[in-house]
Structure 1
């Protein structure tokens, strides 16, 4: 039986679990695929699905044949380019017509093999399988290491590929089950659960305040980290409420719950045209704030997330009395003097923002009438149509407890990585100058001084064998340093250079699973991956979760480096 590529899998994929999957009366069953001029037969019992090329997320420290990670039915699956895995330079063009990804089960883990096309399914018998030539006789099978082949099917002709041996050669011949760490109940591996606790103390005294700093119309504002639930991409549109004031932008839908949205530009008169016209332009973020237990969350629309700032309470001054009497300053809890007073950051009151969100109840969200119901339906519909997705994490229902662990998420070379909030001390702007450190590993760019403490600065692109970033340009201004550490003042701390800060995310435990094992270094640094549903997008958003313990061990990090390519 042969299936031409044109009649192959749908946009989602073909599940190979129908009768005939296992060897039956017809003998042995094989899936035949095309890779260049080769026709390769894969044992059908090992094949779980054939899908169209999915969206891929690059995973660092992997073999050169690894295209990246794909999401398949809630699982993160590594995808190999079969042509490169067989030693053919260049690989298969990503946009080639007929290109497919064959999912096979290997050591309890799904692995994708990208091929040029699916040729069909063949049934054969053991006496119709000829041995593979061990010398170059001009045949196509001679283009592949004979050790990787298990015979030639006369019906094809097609050469049987040992998929297990091929995958072991790419990822290392290790027991994947033993390599995977055991996931602690409800938490990240090797790290304490953070829940919604604030960032840990900077020193033994534990008196410093942690603030999430964001920009609005060129000015800096902040909210205490312990009042921030998460940071989401701004939706493309929101449902406006009748008779609402200008700064009450409307409601957006997050996991079928309505989130009131407050615009700081209009609230503080920073944009005289109001937020409505371009409030939801590309790149803006929604900071989800919760005033306290029993209070519903409120979304605050900001231009960008800048940093997580740790500052002594004595450097946060109350609003001057003359200004405090003005209505527009009622929403501030104080003004922080950062960088020795060179920067002034307005600290917002979570309680006041909550009351703004509750104002929607005056004839809007709380209104059970047709207008209120229509607005809610419109908000949910807007979220469902949002290609960027508005479902990175659930918002727990009031009084139901918190739905997951919080992570600080940042970007590197277009990929998102996460660290538990419990180990992140703060997030800083990248310093203009770094002091070199003689005889340091290549990935240590130097040291920086933070409030009298000297920290090694790790270039994560070098550590993860990623392409070097441009030193100048629009992206350079977004670079940040994530300060990671455990315990008190005597504990080790390091600074991690990242491309930009995405924000805070609350990730449910059921959305965190083991990362596919592709190399020893990757297993040490990236043991878990979060799979988050995105509305209107085929597949899911993947966030690679890094292992803090390994990042803090300089000697072990130096031993993890492997040659790129």
Structure 2
């Protein structure tokens, strides 16, 4: 695996345990504050957890753990350096210092360097630069290989060689462009991608009011024999009201099978701009990351003209707006409605969500036989794995019970009233699993479910998928129930079950 070099001389420097390190800027995407994280059982010790980074699941690695030095409490100075290895990873550091430029001739070998870091993790050293006596260049490739080589080395190598080739050919490829339609609202310029826009029409003579509707709903109009709800962008952005005049326009947006008219002060122009001029809005400006109405900024006229690009899906999230949109949807026949319901069900999966050690997990509802309280006493079974708490008699059937905390190598917890036994069917065997609490039955759209990042073999077997509910700020790990027990463990449980049934 090779680090793609944007500039061989550019490095970002950071501090760990009082020493200064640097990594090449090329694979680095950004530097962020330490986000909220979800812990992953059966993962490498260096993995602190998973975080949500603008809709993507970001694994975060503690470099202190990798370097086998004492952990440090996360504070205001702590940062996560986000690096792209084909899969995006975050590295926790004590503090980020600066970006430096270094002449290759100043990079020396590390053979004589004494550091908290093993020499295998260093690829060079820079002396007397940017006010530092010595800056050690980390070999991120080596760190990555040590932590995840079992599952990723081949995949990531291929991804980086492919990325390198793209970079080398970039100058020969035509510049990718995006088409936007820009308009004014309260003298500020906004834009919407042209693919979201059906048409632009003038304000009609008559607008039908919608009783008891949200302030942003102006009313409804007839557009070629179809009802079109009208929404004020001024009201959505909490700007002062303005009387509709001849300059105002209605930008007709497409929302699947529905259309909505967005009322703006005036339409300015159709823009065709290079993607290089468009960048995500800085996260510090987001009120609620992942749900902001403005997602990107387009810089024109050398940065003198800024155009805010609107996310149509985030703009019209309000409950009352959705109710109005639903109320004006064209009537469907009973057959069409039934078909729509079937399609909607097919596009979702149903899960039972539960918690262990304050982390959320889910199992498909089809694998859950029932959920029962934990009895006061469980019958111990000799010659079974440590995580088997015992067995209970469930309506005449001997049910083995497993402590899921022990199965996930987590600290034990005293019994309480909230704990439950989830009875799952694994390879035709009913097995009970003790969890801290069962939260809910949740329908999750398939579009929110993605393949989990493989961090270790056992973790990948147990948690093959993850549900990323970014609007709710939740990352739910989906358990592959058939892999909760190994084949030999199932055989032992079946044998113990048969022996107990004979005794009874």
Q: Deviations over 1:338-366 (max 9, x none)?
A: xxxxxxxxxxxxxxxxxxxxxxxxxxxxx
Q: Distance in 1 between matches of 2:491 and 2:95?
A: 41
Q: 2:116 aligns with which of 143, 156, 161?
A: 143
| 1:464-483 alignment runs, 5 A limit | 464-471=408-415, 476-483=416-423
* Gap regions ≥5 residues in structure 2: 157-208, 218-230, 238-286, 292-316, 327-336, 493-504
CA contact (8 A) 2:354 2:362 kept: yes
3-state secondary structure, aligned to 1:63: coil
Match for residue 506 of structure 1?
Answer: 443
- 1:526: how far off? 1.1
Does 1:551 find its partner at 2:491?
Answer: no
Does 1:422 find its partner at 2:366?
Answer: yes
Q: 1:542 aligns with which of 452, 469, 475?
A: 475
- 1:127: how far off? 2.0
3-state secondary structure, aligned to 1:543: strand
CA contact (8 A) 1:148 1:165 kept: yes
Q: Deviations over 1:379-404 (max 9, x none)?
A: x99xxx999x9x9xx99x87352241
Q: 1:558 to 1:37 in 2, by over 3 A?
A: farther
Q: Distance in 1 between matches of 2:104 and 2:54?
A: 35
Q: Deviations over 1:222-253 (max 9, x none)?
A: xxxxxxxxxxxxxxxxxxxxxxxxxxxxxxxx
CA contact (8 A) 1:434 1:446 kept: yes
Larger radius of gyration between Structure 1 and Structure 2: 2
3-state secondary structure, aligned to 1:523: helix
With normalisation by structure 1, the TM-score equals: 0.52
- 1:57: how far off? 1.1
Q: 2:152 aligns with which of 175, 186, 189?
A: 175
Q: Deviations over 1:43-67 (max 9, x none)?
A: 1112111111101111112233322
- 1:558: how far off? 11
Does 1:47 find its partner at 2:25?
Answer: no
Match for residue 82 of structure 2?
Answer: 103
CA contact (8 A) 1:60 1:522 kept: yes
* Gap regions ≥5 residues in structure 1: 1-20, 180-367, 560-565
Match for residue 437 of structure 1?
Answer: 381
Q: 1:152 aligns with which of 116, 125, 131?
A: 125
Larger % of strand: which?
2
Match for residue 126 of structure 1?
Answer: 104
Q: Deviations over 1:200-241 (max 9, x none)?
A: xxxxxxxxxxxxxxxxxxxxxxxxxxxxxxxxxxxxxxxxxx
| 1:354-503 alignment runs, 5 A limit | 369-373=210-214, 399-400=340-341, 401-402=344-345, 403-471=347-415, 476-485=416-425, 491-503=428-440
With normalisation by structure 2, the TM-score equals: 0.58
Tell me the matched-pair count.
Answer: 321
Q: Distance in 1 between matches of 2:491 and 2:61?
A: 27
Q: Deviations over 1:2-40 (max 9, x none)?
A: xxxxxxxxxxxxxxxxxxx9434xx42211111121111
Q: Distance in 1 between matches of 2:23 and 2:491?
A: 39
Q: Distance in 1 between matches of 2:135 and 2:288?
A: 45
Match for residue 280 of structure 1?
Answer: none
3-state secondary structure, aligned to 1:33: strand
Does 1:23 find its partner at 2:6?
Answer: yes
Q: 1:544 to 1:480 in 2, by over 3 A?
A: same
CA contact (8 A) 1:103 1:112 kept: yes
| 1:261-276 alignment runs, 5 A limit | none
- 1:427: how far off? 1.2
- 1:557: how far off? 8.3
CA contact (8 A) 1:133 1:142 kept: no
User: In angstroms, what is the RMSD of aligned CA positions?
Assistant: 3.3
Q: Distance in 1 between matches of 2:108 and 2:491?
A: 48
Q: 1:480 to 1:554 in 2, by over 3 A?
A: farther
